[in-house]
Structure 1
Amino acid sequence: MTGQLDNQDKNESRRIAIILIALVAVLVAAALLMLPPLSDLIVLHLAPGLGLKDAAIISFFITLGLMLVFALASGDGLLGEIQFILGGFFLFFFIIWLMISWIF
């Protein structure tokens, strides 16, 4: 038997889930609508340098080496810190990729 408080918790949880799903849908729609203006801006400012493709290759190997050093220095090795390494890898890769293509 579910009590009144359980029903209120279920309703509140559903309401929060619906709001979060709607918020994610709005953010995805906004990101899709912003892609064309952002791509023109990125091409304009990053084209004269090294280029995005070459910078991505360089950034991948730099980030891979950096994450291996971090994993070995952390003490737990690769398996103990894998959830943090994956998030850190993508964050470092993105930042290093854009910095290399912008600066060089």
Structure 2
Amino acid sequence: MTTDAQDKKESRKLLIVIIVLLVAVAAALLLMVPMAAEFIQTELEPGVGMKQAAVISFFITVVTLAFFAITAGDGLLGELQFMLAGFFSFFVVLWLLIAWVF
């Protein structure tokens, strides 16, 4: 009985700590929005721009992952979940890098 009560007490403490941590992270993200908007406007916009970089990144990602899928052989359907995760991560990284560099 005492271990069950101790486990409940520890669980409540852990839940409170997690909630406080999530609230702190949310507050930090909200405070970071104006700084991120300023960074995007000064560093990413004068050049290719975010919209054009997204289009370029999409086509580069589709061509690259189509090449990977063709050369993978038999594993296309079995590896679909990894291809989707790879697509989105590759797309986001390429999108931001193209907008930043060019």
Q: Does 1:90 align with 2:88?
A: yes
Shift of the 46–14 alpha-carbon distance from structure 1 to 2, 3 Å rule, reads same
Structure 2 partner of 1:36:
34
Specify the SS of the correspondent of 1:99: helix
Structure 2 partner of 1:23:
21
Match of 1:48 among 46, 49, 54: 46
Structure 2 partner of 1:63:
61
d(CA) in 2 for partners of 1:9, 1:60: 49
Equivalent pair of 1:71/1:78 in contact (CA under 8 Å)? no
Structure 2 partner of 1:10:
8
Letter in 2 for 1:13: S
Shift of the 51–15 alpha-carbon distance from structure 1 to 2, 3 Å rule, reads same
Runs of 5+ consecutive residues of structure 1 not aligned to the other structure: none
Letter in 1 for 2:57: S
Shift of the 39–88 alpha-carbon distance from structure 1 to 2, 3 Å rule, reads same
Letter in 2 for 1:50: V
Could you state the TM-score of these two structures normalised by the residue count of structure 2? Answer: 0.74
Give RMSD over aligned pairs: 2.6
Specify the SS of the correspondent of 2:25: helix
d(CA) in 2 for partners of 1:47, 1:16: 43
The size of the alignment, in residue pairs, is 101
Specify the SS of the correspondent of 1:28: helix
Structure 2 partner of 1:103:
101
Could you state the TM-score of these two structures normalised by the residue count of structure 1? Answer: 0.73
